[in-house]
Structure formats: C-alpha cells, structure tokens
Amino acid sequence: MKLGVFLVLFGQQSLEQALDTAKAAGVQAVELGTGGYPGTAHVNAAAIVNDEAAINRIRSAVESRGLTISALSCHGNPLHPDKSAAKKDHEDFVATVLLAEKLGVDTVITFSGCPGESPNSKYPSWVTCPWPPDFLTVLEWQWNEVAIPYWKEQSAFCRQHGVKVAIESHPGFLVYNTETALRLRREAGDNIGVNFDPSHLFWQGMDPIECVKALGDSIYHVHAKDTKIDARNTALNGVLDTKHYGDILNRSFVFRTVGYGHDDEFWKDFVSVLRTIGYDGVISIEHEDGLMSVNEGFTKAAGFLNGLILKESAGEMWWA
C-alpha cells in the first residue's frame, strides 16, 4: 500500500513544485485533478489530451521524482439538468479517460452525478426520503431514465480504453452510500467501482470499516480525510446541515485532517481492513480542514498515515 496526495491541494504551485512538496513529505503517488469541481490547476485534460509534448512533460515530471500517478480526478456532474453544465463535465470525463490511457493510468475518479426531478428541471434534485410518494417517482426516473443509461455507455467506453471508474460516494448525488454504489456497479458495469472516502460516510452515520468489507474488490482508490461530529449541534439539528462549511462553531459536522475527527485506533483498523479485502493501492490525502492551513494539514496527515502504512507493511512481511 502506498501513501498519496490529491495534488490539487497545491494548486497555487506549479506542477513541478507541487510534486516536490509531495515527495518531501514522503508521498509515493499523486492523484491529479483534470477537470470538474477540483479544477485544472496542474492538468487540463481537455486541453492537452492530444498534445504529446504536454503529456510527456507530465509523465517525466512525475517519474523523475520516483512518484507514480494513482488516478486522474474530474469529479463533476455529467447528469446535470442544465445541458451545458452536463456537457462540460461529460467532455472533461471523456478527455480524462483518454488522457489516463495515454499516461498508463488505469483509474479515473468522478461523482455519479445527480439529475433534476424531470426533463424540465434547472437544478439537480437529491432525494433523501421516500415520502411524499412524489420523491420515489423522481428517484425511479433519475436512475432508470438518466443514470443507468449514461453509466452503461461510459462503462463500455472506459473498457475500450483500459480504464476503471472510481465513483466517490457523496451526498447530493445518486451514489452516496454503500447500497447506491453497489447498485450502479451492478446495473452499469463491473469496471465501475468506488473511490472510498470515509469522511462523507462518517457524518451520515455509517461505519466505514463495515462499508469497506461490503464493498470489497469494488474499491479502486481511497481518500484520506476525517470528519468531526459536533455532538450538541447534531443533537439539536441532525446531520443534514446546510450551513456554510466555514461556520465551524455551529455546524453539525466539519471535515478534519486525519486523526482530528477519529483517533488512531480507527485509522489503524481502516488501513488493516483495506488489506484484508485485498486492497494494495494508494491512500490519497485530501485536505478540507477549515482549522488548518493546507501545509499544516497535509504534513500532519502524511506523517500520521506514513507511520500506519509502514507498520502494516512490516506486519505483512512478518506474516509472509
């Protein structure tokens, strides 16, 4: 297992500077943002997919530092009811798949997307409960008429180019938990799996350890980000919280650097259970901690996780 970082954390640096920052912290792999919500700070897939010189520059910059690319990420909403928004995210996804093939990267990360409530919608509509019954009508239409046909087509496209899709379960999109992740995989294709990010599961009341066991070999990539639940705010308002992420004092939950939401016992178990299901890929640090700078959060996370991964590796060698 390797430690990685979602390199968009260092979007203010050049690609080469960002790679140096990652290398200095003991990171072995990088996840590159190529479009969608993460943006294109270092790599704009749509702009360079046919530019061999630019592609070779990326490959050389990474390999010359002894690093690897764990995945290309274009988290977006290709199912958006606004056709122009959906088209942009879809085009970013297609370009990212083609770029991944040229770079020899086998995993592309994105969201499942979320349609509106009908063909006439302007904004996405995330259904969170089964009543009134209109909601179930909406949900059936979203899955059967929009999401499944789209992802079946993308599954076939990705298979042609030797690429797997790692869908990140995220509230606000059709795939937001274990059940919906497995449904999309079952309905659309077994080269559609999961980018496992425990931070979004914590605040929904899920147990990431049990989720890992249930998802098994559908986990293609892993994010390392923690969540701190505020007991009082949650007791008063529950976990469906629309307050700004910057309103830390009053929110029911906030994202934290690993180890600042859950103790090292959880993270030890997390790394261990990933090994038990056969995952030997990258754990990629993502930073959205409003109480720490990017450098502080990243450095703390890298030191913390490097220790756990090295211990697990030593244990693996002993058992072998």
Minimum mean pLDDT range among 135-139, 174-178, 219-223, 303-307: 303-307
Q: Tell me the whole-structure pTM to 2 decimals.
A: 0.96
CATH superfamily of 2-319: Divalent-metal-dependent TIM barrel enzymes (3.20.20.150)
Per the CB < 8 A criterion, the answer to whether 217 and 204 are in contact is no
Tens-digit pLDDT profile for residues 117-130: 999 999 999 999 99
What pairing do the DSSP bridges indicate for beta strands 164-168 and 226-229? Answer: unpaired
What residues does each domain of the chain span?
2-319
Tens-digit pLDDT profile for residues 210-249: 999 999 999 999 999 999 999 999 999 999 999 999 999 9
Per the CB < 8 A criterion, the answer to whether 143 and 173 are in contact is no
pLDDT value of position 38: 87
Asked whether residue 318 carries a pLDDT value surpassing 80, the answer given is no
End-to-end CA distance of the chain: 15
Tens-digit pLDDT profile for residues 71-85: 999 999 999 999 999
Any bridge partners for residue 184, and if so which?
none
